[in-house]
Amino acid sequence: MRVMIFGATGMLGQGVLRECLRDPDVEQVLAVGRGPSGQTSPKLRDLALPDLFRIADAAEELAGYDACFYCLGVSSAGMSEAAYARVTYDLTVVVAEAVMRASSGLTFVFVSGAGTDATEKGRTMWARVKGRAENAVLRMPFRAAYVFRPGFVEPMHGITSRTRSYRVLGAIMKPLYPLLRRAPAIATTTERLGRAMLAVARQGYAKQVLDSADINVVGR
Protein backbone atom coordinates (compact mmCIF):
# COMPACT_ATOMS: atom_id res chain seq x y z
CA MET A 1 0.00 0.00 0.00
CA ARG A 2 1.20 3.51 -0.87
CA VAL A 3 -0.08 6.30 1.36
CA MET A 4 0.22 10.06 1.62
CA ILE A 5 -0.09 12.07 4.83
CA PHE A 6 -0.91 15.75 5.09
CA GLY A 7 0.11 17.29 8.41
CA ALA A 8 2.74 14.76 9.45
CA THR A 9 4.43 17.26 11.77
CA GLY A 10 1.36 17.79 13.96
CA MET A 11 0.66 15.63 16.99
CA LEU A 12 -1.92 13.44 15.26
CA GLY A 13 0.02 13.37 12.01
CA GLN A 14 3.15 12.24 13.84
CA GLY A 15 1.21 9.31 15.26
CA VAL A 16 -0.18 8.36 11.86
CA LEU A 17 3.25 8.64 10.24
CA ARG A 18 4.81 6.42 12.91
CA GLU A 19 2.27 3.66 12.35
CA CYS A 20 2.58 3.88 8.57
CA LEU A 21 6.37 3.55 8.75
CA ARG A 22 6.05 0.56 11.09
CA ASP A 23 3.43 -1.26 9.03
CA PRO A 24 4.95 -3.92 6.74
CA ASP A 25 2.05 -3.56 4.29
CA VAL A 26 2.94 0.08 3.64
CA GLU A 27 5.66 0.27 1.01
CA GLN A 28 5.82 4.04 0.51
CA VAL A 29 4.77 7.11 2.49
CA LEU A 30 4.59 10.60 1.03
CA ALA A 31 4.54 13.28 3.75
CA VAL A 32 3.12 16.51 2.35
CA GLY A 33 3.40 19.78 4.25
CA ARG A 34 4.86 23.24 4.30
CA GLY A 35 8.15 21.76 5.48
CA PRO A 36 9.81 18.36 5.91
CA SER A 37 8.38 15.83 8.33
CA GLY A 38 11.61 15.58 10.32
CA GLN A 39 11.59 11.78 10.10
CA THR A 40 13.80 9.45 8.09
CA SER A 41 12.99 6.05 6.62
CA PRO A 42 13.79 4.22 3.37
CA LYS A 43 10.09 4.26 2.53
CA LEU A 44 9.44 7.92 3.45
CA ARG A 45 9.55 10.79 1.01
CA ASP A 46 8.87 14.42 1.91
CA LEU A 47 7.07 16.84 -0.36
CA ALA A 48 7.50 20.36 1.01
CA LEU A 49 5.14 22.96 -0.45
CA PRO A 50 5.26 26.42 1.16
CA ASP A 51 1.78 27.19 -0.24
CA LEU A 52 -0.51 24.17 0.01
CA PHE A 53 -3.22 26.03 -1.88
CA ARG A 54 -1.00 25.40 -4.93
CA ILE A 55 -1.06 21.64 -4.39
CA ALA A 56 -2.37 21.11 -7.93
CA ASP A 57 1.05 22.20 -9.22
CA ALA A 58 2.45 18.98 -7.73
CA ALA A 59 -0.15 16.69 -9.33
CA GLU A 60 2.45 14.27 -10.70
CA GLU A 61 3.84 13.72 -7.20
CA LEU A 62 0.37 12.69 -5.94
CA ALA A 63 -0.34 10.00 -8.52
CA GLY A 64 -0.49 6.29 -7.79
CA TYR A 65 -1.46 6.28 -4.11
CA ASP A 66 -3.93 4.03 -2.32
CA ALA A 67 -4.80 6.23 0.67
CA CYS A 68 -4.59 9.83 1.85
CA PHE A 69 -4.62 10.63 5.56
CA TYR A 70 -5.49 14.30 6.04
CA CYS A 71 -4.33 15.40 9.50
CA LEU A 72 -3.92 19.15 8.94
CA GLY A 73 -5.71 21.39 11.37
CA VAL A 74 -5.50 24.52 13.51
CA SER A 75 -7.10 25.72 16.70
CA SER A 76 -9.96 28.18 16.17
CA ALA A 77 -8.93 30.19 19.25
CA GLY A 78 -8.64 33.86 18.37
CA MET A 79 -9.58 33.33 14.72
CA SER A 80 -12.48 34.84 12.81
CA GLU A 81 -14.83 32.44 11.07
CA ALA A 82 -13.50 33.51 7.66
CA ALA A 83 -9.87 32.90 8.66
CA TYR A 84 -10.66 29.56 10.28
CA ALA A 85 -12.76 28.47 7.29
CA ARG A 86 -9.92 29.28 4.88
CA VAL A 87 -7.66 26.75 6.61
CA THR A 88 -10.22 24.19 7.72
CA TYR A 89 -12.66 24.20 4.79
CA ASP A 90 -11.10 25.91 1.78
CA LEU A 91 -7.71 24.21 2.05
CA THR A 92 -9.27 20.81 2.74
CA VAL A 93 -11.37 21.05 -0.41
CA VAL A 94 -8.44 22.25 -2.54
CA VAL A 95 -6.24 19.38 -1.34
CA ALA A 96 -8.95 16.72 -1.56
CA GLU A 97 -9.84 17.71 -5.13
CA ALA A 98 -6.19 17.67 -6.21
CA VAL A 99 -5.59 14.30 -4.59
CA MET A 100 -8.74 12.86 -6.14
CA ARG A 101 -7.72 13.96 -9.62
CA ALA A 102 -4.21 12.54 -9.21
CA SER A 103 -5.16 9.22 -7.54
CA SER A 104 -8.84 8.70 -8.25
CA GLY A 105 -8.97 5.21 -6.74
CA LEU A 106 -7.73 6.07 -3.26
CA THR A 107 -9.36 6.15 0.16
CA PHE A 108 -9.45 9.59 1.81
CA VAL A 109 -9.49 9.84 5.62
CA PHE A 110 -10.19 13.27 7.11
CA VAL A 111 -9.38 13.97 10.76
CA SER A 112 -12.14 16.10 12.26
CA GLY A 113 -13.08 16.21 15.94
CA ALA A 114 -15.68 15.22 18.51
CA GLY A 115 -18.55 17.68 18.62
CA THR A 116 -18.42 18.59 14.93
CA ASP A 117 -21.73 19.90 13.57
CA ALA A 118 -22.64 18.06 10.37
CA THR A 119 -25.79 20.20 9.98
CA GLU A 120 -23.51 23.23 9.49
CA LYS A 121 -26.12 25.34 11.35
CA GLY A 122 -25.10 25.18 15.00
CA ARG A 123 -24.00 28.09 17.16
CA THR A 124 -20.40 26.94 17.60
CA MET A 125 -18.24 28.37 14.84
CA TRP A 126 -15.50 25.73 14.66
CA ALA A 127 -18.06 22.90 14.70
CA ARG A 128 -20.01 24.41 11.79
CA VAL A 129 -16.88 24.89 9.71
CA LYS A 130 -15.60 21.39 10.46
CA GLY A 131 -19.02 20.06 9.49
CA ARG A 132 -18.82 21.82 6.13
CA ALA A 133 -15.42 20.28 5.51
CA GLU A 134 -16.62 16.81 6.50
CA ASN A 135 -19.63 17.03 4.21
CA ALA A 136 -17.54 18.26 1.29
CA VAL A 137 -15.12 15.34 1.62
CA LEU A 138 -17.88 12.75 1.97
CA ARG A 139 -19.57 14.03 -1.20
CA MET A 140 -16.46 13.58 -3.32
CA PRO A 141 -16.29 10.44 -5.51
CA PHE A 142 -13.30 8.78 -3.87
CA ARG A 143 -13.11 5.00 -3.80
CA ALA A 144 -14.02 5.49 -0.16
CA ALA A 145 -14.01 8.40 2.29
CA TYR A 146 -14.05 8.43 6.09
CA VAL A 147 -14.19 11.06 8.80
CA PHE A 148 -12.46 10.47 12.12
CA ARG A 149 -13.87 12.39 15.11
CA PRO A 150 -11.56 11.67 18.03
CA GLY A 151 -12.17 13.28 21.39
CA PHE A 152 -9.16 13.41 23.69
CA VAL A 153 -6.05 11.92 22.06
CA GLU A 154 -3.20 10.74 24.27
CA PRO A 155 0.21 11.24 22.62
CA MET A 156 2.43 8.17 22.79
CA HIS A 157 6.02 7.18 21.97
CA GLY A 158 7.47 10.62 22.68
CA ILE A 159 5.10 12.47 20.35
CA THR A 160 4.33 16.06 21.33
CA SER A 161 2.18 18.83 19.94
CA ARG A 162 3.75 21.93 18.41
CA THR A 163 0.87 23.98 19.83
CA ARG A 164 1.78 25.37 23.25
CA SER A 165 -1.80 25.32 24.58
CA TYR A 166 -2.09 21.62 23.70
CA ARG A 167 1.21 20.87 25.43
CA VAL A 168 0.01 22.66 28.55
CA LEU A 169 -3.30 20.79 28.44
CA GLY A 170 -1.45 17.51 28.00
CA ALA A 171 0.70 18.20 31.05
CA ILE A 172 -2.41 18.96 33.10
CA MET A 173 -4.21 15.86 31.85
CA LYS A 174 -1.29 13.45 32.18
CA PRO A 175 -2.25 12.20 35.67
CA LEU A 176 -5.66 11.30 34.23
CA TYR A 177 -4.31 9.20 31.34
CA PRO A 178 -4.83 5.86 33.14
CA LEU A 179 -8.47 6.80 33.78
CA LEU A 180 -9.02 8.04 30.24
CA ARG A 181 -7.69 4.76 28.84
CA ARG A 182 -10.71 3.14 30.48
CA ALA A 183 -13.09 5.50 28.65
CA PRO A 184 -12.81 4.46 24.99
CA ALA A 185 -15.93 6.42 24.08
CA ILE A 186 -14.17 9.73 24.72
CA ALA A 187 -10.44 9.08 24.44
CA THR A 188 -7.95 7.31 22.20
CA THR A 189 -4.20 7.42 21.51
CA THR A 190 -2.02 8.54 18.62
CA GLU A 191 -1.08 4.88 18.11
CA ARG A 192 -4.66 3.64 17.80
CA LEU A 193 -5.58 6.56 15.58
CA GLY A 194 -2.82 5.67 13.12
CA ARG A 195 -3.64 1.99 13.17
CA ALA A 196 -7.33 2.69 12.64
CA MET A 197 -6.61 4.84 9.59
CA LEU A 198 -4.58 2.06 8.03
CA ALA A 199 -7.29 -0.47 8.86
CA VAL A 200 -10.12 1.46 7.17
CA ALA A 201 -7.91 2.14 4.15
CA ARG A 202 -7.24 -1.60 3.84
CA GLN A 203 -10.60 -3.14 4.63
CA GLY A 204 -13.17 -0.37 4.96
CA TYR A 205 -15.63 0.13 7.81
CA ALA A 206 -19.39 -0.01 8.23
CA LYS A 207 -19.61 3.69 9.13
CA GLN A 208 -18.18 6.68 7.29
CA VAL A 209 -17.96 8.79 10.44
CA LEU A 210 -15.93 7.18 13.24
CA ASP A 211 -15.91 8.49 16.80
CA SER A 212 -13.41 7.58 19.53
CA ALA A 213 -15.17 4.31 20.31
CA ASP A 214 -14.97 3.22 16.67
CA ILE A 215 -11.35 4.34 16.38
CA ASN A 216 -10.42 2.27 19.40
CA VAL A 217 -12.17 -0.83 18.07
CA VAL A 218 -10.61 -0.57 14.62
CA GLY A 219 -7.19 0.49 15.89
CA ARG A 220 -6.60 -2.26 18.41
DSSP alpha helices (H): ranges in 79-218? 81-85, 91-102, 125-139, 164-173, 177-180, 190-203, 212-218
Per the model's pLDDT, the better-predicted residue between 15 and 166 turns out to be 15
* Mean predicted confidence (pLDDT) in 63-71: 98
Check residue 169 and give its pLDDT.
65
Express each pLDDT in 92-108 by its tens digit. 999 999 999 999 899 99
CATH superfamily of 2-218: NAD(P)-binding Rossmann-like Domain (3.40.50.720)
Express each pLDDT in 166-208 by its tens digit. 666 666 667 766 766 777 788 899 999 999 999 999 999 999 9
User: Taking the model in full, what pTM does it have?
Assistant: 0.92
| Rounded-to-integer distance, Cα 4 and Cα 46, Å | 10
Express each pLDDT in 119-171 by its tens digit. 999 999 999 999 999 999 999 999 999 999 999 898 887 787 666 666 666 66
Check residue 16 and give its pLDDT.
97
Express each pLDDT in 16-37 by its tens digit. 999 999 999 999 999 999 999 9
**What sign does the dihedral 71-109-68-180 (CA atoms) show?**
positive
**Is the predicted pLDDT of residue 76 greater than 80, yes or no?**
yes
Check residue 177 and give its pLDDT.
66
| Rounded-to-integer distance, Cα 95 and Cα 91, Å | 6
Residue 210 pairs in a beta bridge with 148
Parallel, antiparallel or unpaired: strands 187-189 and 28-33: unpaired
Per the model's pLDDT, the better-predicted residue between 39 and 159 turns out to be 39
Check residue 220 and give its pLDDT.
85
| Rounded-to-integer distance, Cα 12 and Cα 103, Å | 23
**Is the predicted pLDDT of residue 213 greater than 80, yes or no?**
yes
